[in-house]
Structure 1
Amino acid sequence: MPCLSCLKENIDGYCLKCRKELFGGIKISPQLTFNSPYSVDNQVYNTHTQHISISGVQIKYSLKLVEGQLQLTDEGGEYILKPIPTGTFQQLDQAPANEHLTMQLARQVYGLNVPPNAIVYFTDNTPAYLVKRFDRKADGTKCLQEDFAQIAQMTSESHGENYKYDLSYQEMAELIKRYIPAYPIALEAFFRMILFNYLFSNGDAHVKNFSAIRSEMGDYQLTPAYDLLCTKLHSPSESDLALNLLAEGYPQKFLEVGFHTYNDFMEFGVLIGILPRRMEKILG
């Protein structure tokens, strides 16, 4: 059977490499010791709930590793757990596998920086997506992290309920130039994320799904990519991109053919400051 993290052939559970990345080498069972939040008694979850997307309806829980087992926790969380979401979207039972596979493709095929992640199972055998937090230091304290809505000082009070979708990716790139010292490297990583999201139809890649984090040196850098999934699997009418590429609106070619082309991404890359020869290499 495949490793439930990297998907490579393995005897059972997680391979040694993934155990090291996820759990510090400890052998952890992929079977959790508690039921899903939708089982008969879910009171244990009441104090652990936070709402996030798929379009604002998915639920996540905080876990920590205690004596060789993953347990729900109110503080000091080391992992985020996402069970099958509820709602009116299609094929939601596939959401954990969708996010896990998309994140693995991002890492293994496209070379994106993503946090260690895996599939786990509740005691009722329903799957959930597990991802290791990247905003925790070795001593357990939290790193200073801000998403791009915070960086742009955008809230629902100041910009309306749709504020997460009010910037373009070009405008987000300008924020990277302003706040991230090593911005040439960050811009290329950002561009690769946008291209990946388009290729895999992630219509939920809004401003809150990109963040900057303060390093131990005191400067800021882009966080690993997170919340990557094919949203069209669950919402076929969803856009292939959450935001416009360009600040001025859609490129002319997009208006003509109804989808982004090689030239659109070349134009976007050049506008945000990536050298044309680097763009050609990235786009292949």
Structure 2
Amino acid sequence: MIDIKNCPSLLTEGFDTYSPKAIRLLFDGKKVSHRLDFNIDEFRSSGDIVDAMHRISVSGVQEKFPAIIENGKIRISLDKERSTYILKPAPWDRTLQARMQIPLNEHLTMQIASQVYGIQTAANGLCFTKDGQAVYITKRFDVLLDGSKLLMEDFAAVVGRNEQADGTHFKYSGCYEDIAIAIRKNVSAWMVDMERFFELVVFNYIYANDDDHLKNFALIQQGLDYRLAPAYDLLNTSLHIQGDDFGLDGGLSPEIEKSDVYDNTGHPCRIDFERFGERIGLMKSRIKRVLDKYMLLPEKTSTLVEHSFLNDKMKRYYLRIVNERISGFQRASE
């Protein structure tokens, strides 16, 4: 059984379960056990697995299980229940490097985004099966306390990409400017959300989230308007698989002239993101405010990595990858 010395949500030192602040943010003030009453493999072997996965993801490819809180316990929701949480265990695919660390990676990366950079994220944490397996848990921000559900569309749907028209890898088709154009078209307060989106693109690059595709960004209805949804599915993918710098095939935008650094090394630097920010309509002062935050590794990031549930080898690897990205980001173009 894993030895818990830090809050399995906010990673605050000195807690052997969820801290009071985490209970407020993640569980609306209700005391909840971090221990599950079942093992993931037990649930996988039941006949309910396919139905449960399809209630979250129509494709059924990504393992996401709907959950609710009942009597201070986290459990899988039944077919007719409105789930308020999503559970994500380590994936089945044994070809993924260090796959059992993936829930821990996602939890850490989400906490860094929120605590270090102030990025709006889905509330999240870790819980643990009877045999000690870590499972990522995230609160559904599209379901309200009264059980009503907000309308939400990911950007694959917003920009009109689908498997029938664009093939199996449709969610990787296009560039980040496509999302920016859709934000400007669909969000009244587009300038605010454009800056949020811009920072999320920068964060994903620096923290090596190379799988940030169209379905990992979404619009959510608030009142009569749509806004950019809180960030979700953030993780350092380079810990597990070697990919490109960006999740979308077209990168930032094919309309932007690449820096000399980008041309020579194949990796973008700060000026490429400056040009992208200007391209999507942000003021230079706001672009600078965002980019300045990513020029050095914040001490808070190192602290959260140390307090995380990753093993020691993965902690070192995580920081090395981020420092390498920052070093490339700092390169000056001629």
TM-score for the superposition, normalised by structure 1: 0.93
Judged with a 3 Å threshold, the aligned counterparts in structure 2 of structure 1 residues 42 and 7 are, in CA distance, closer, same or farther, namely same
Distance in 2 between residues matched to 1:44 and 1:29, nearest whole Å: 24
3-state DSSP class of the match of 1:59?
Answer: coil
Offset of 1:165 from its aligned partner?
A: 1.4
Q: In the alignment, which residue of structure 2 is the partner of 1:37?
A: 41
Task: After superposition, give the CA deviation of every residue in 1:83-108 in whole Å (9 maximum; x if it has no partner).
Answer: 11121111001001000000000001
3-state DSSP class of the match of 1:48?
Answer: helix
Kept in 2: contact 1:214–1:221 (CA 8 A): yes
Offset of 1:43 from its aligned partner?
A: 4.0
Given residue 228 of structure 1, which amino acid in structure 2 is its aligned partner?
A: L
Q: In the alignment, which residue of structure 2 is the partner of 1:5?
A: 9
Answer yes or no: is 1:276 the counterpart of 2:281.
Answer: no
Distance in 2 between residues matched to 1:157 and 1:102, nearest whole Å: 33
Given residue 216 of structure 2, which amino acid in structure 1 is its aligned partner?
A: N
Kept in 2: contact 1:232–1:238 (CA 8 A): yes
Offset of 1:11 from its aligned partner?
A: 3.1
Kept in 2: contact 1:197–1:240 (CA 8 A): no
Kept in 2: contact 1:36–1:124 (CA 8 A): no
Distance in 2 between residues matched to 1:14 and 1:252, nearest whole Å: 46
Spell out the pairing of 1:1-284 with structure 2 (5 A cutoff). 1-37=5-41, 41-50=45-54, 58-73=62-77, 74=79, 75-87=81-93, 88-215=95-222, 217-235=223-241, 237-243=242-248, 244-248=251-255, 251-253=258-260, 254-284=262-292
Question: How large is the Cα RMSD of the aligned pairs?
Answer: 1.8
Task: After superposition, give the CA deviation of every residue in 1:88-141 in whole Å (9 maximum; x if it has no partner).
Answer: 111001001000000000001111100110010011111100000000122112
Distance in 2 between residues matched to 1:252 and 1:40, nearest whole Å: 48
Structure 1 stretches of 4+ moved >6 Å? none
Could you tell me which runs of 5 or more consecutive residues in structure 2 were left unpaired when the two chains were aligned. Answer: 293-334
Structure having the higher helix fraction is 2
Task: After superposition, give the CA deviation of every residue in 1:180-222 in whole Å (9 maximum; x if it has no partner).
Answer: 110000010000100000001111100111000000x210000
Kept in 1: contact 2:159–2:178 (CA 8 A): no
TM-score for the superposition, normalised by structure 2: 0.80
Offset of 1:71 from its aligned partner?
A: 1.3
Offset of 1:250 from its aligned partner?
A: 7.0
3-state DSSP class of the match of 1:225?
Answer: coil
Task: After superposition, give the CA deviation of every residue in 1:219-276 in whole Å (9 maximum; x if it has no partner).
Answer: 00000000000111110x2112112101337724312222110100000000000001
Distance in 2 between residues matched to 1:90 and 1:11, nearest whole Å: 30
Distance in 2 between residues matched to 1:71 and 1:283, nearest whole Å: 41
Kept in 2: contact 1:169–1:247 (CA 8 A): no
Kept in 2: contact 1:212–1:221 (CA 8 A): yes
